[in-house]
Amino acid sequence: MPPKTGVYAILISLALIIACIWASNNLSLLPADASSNAPIYDELFNVLFVIGTILFVGMTGLVIYSLIQFRRKPGEEGDGLAIKDNLPLEILWTAVPAVVILFVGLYSYDIYERMGGMQTLNHDVHNQHSMSSEERLWGGIGTLKEDNAEIKEFPINVELTAMQFAFLFNYPKGEIISGELHVPVGQPVSMKMESKDVIHAFWVPEFRLKQDVIPGQPTILNFTPTKTGRYPIICAELCGPYHGGMRSTVVVEEPEEYDAWFQKNSKSTEVEL
């Protein structure tokens, strides 16, 4: 490769890196973030976006350059140069992907651990009657490190039952069963989820959280909503012919509005929130 071409390649690579970093920080490619977990997930997405774009654009540009630069010229009838065994190049194209994959794997593990993926579950999670309104987060995905270290207020405990093709939400404290999930903004929610038939998945894109709902094996999902609004709940696991219609809504309300909804629908005559 001529020296001038090498300089151009370095400059183009630097420009591409800068452009990708700028795009990841200024272009919104994800739905609005509405939970305390979302910014952590978005960190990983931005890093993967930068790496993926650099690799895609860089490799595509290299292929196009090669097609133009090394094409058969008019009047050339012979074969090309017999080039083989370029040891530095082979080391380079082996080392670079290995370093990228190692970095992505370690960084992804760190994000998963920060989002609570490695937190141990409460030992009473399989006992439906052990739950109380003053219980802490059950642990598991969605439990942030800072939440696990010091929970400033008790979480709202909800039991989710998934079945073909609906989600049902049970609030044991108020004996409420609802087809929508109502939660107050800024307060942690701890959900124990179980399926009555096949594997489903609870997914709220704005929360950046997704967890399988498995028959006979309760799973846990914790989150703290940060913005009021109505957000779609989607089953993200193929569960049957009407899988596409298995949806619900999580309604994030101001604490006063949530209290009013809770009192209106509670079957208990005296409920302390």
**pLDDT higher for 236 or 132?**
236
pLDDT at residue 158 in the model: 93
**Backbone region of residue 3 per phi and psi (left: phi > 0; alpha: psi in -120 to 50; beta: other values):** alpha
Lowest mean pLDDT among 41-45, 102-106, 191-195, 211-215: 41-45
Domain 128-265 annotated CATH 3.20.190.10: no
Q: Are the CB atoms for 141 and 115 separated by under 8 Å? A: yes
Q: Residue 252: pLDDT above 70?
A: yes
Q: Are the CB atoms for 137 and 151 separated by under 8 Å? A: yes
Q: Average per-residue pLDDT in the chain?
A: 81
Average pLDDT of the residues in 256-270: 83
In the DSSP assignment, the letter for residue 158 is E
Prediction pTM value: 0.74
Rounded Cα–Cα distance for residues 93 and 223 (Å)? 41
The token pair at 144 is 């942030």
The token pair at 109 is 């593990």
Q: Residue 190: pLDDT above 60?
A: yes
Kindly indicate the confidence band of residue 133, based on its pLDDT and cuts at 50, 70 and 90.
Answer: very low
Rounded Cα–Cα distance for residues 8 and 268 (Å)? 73
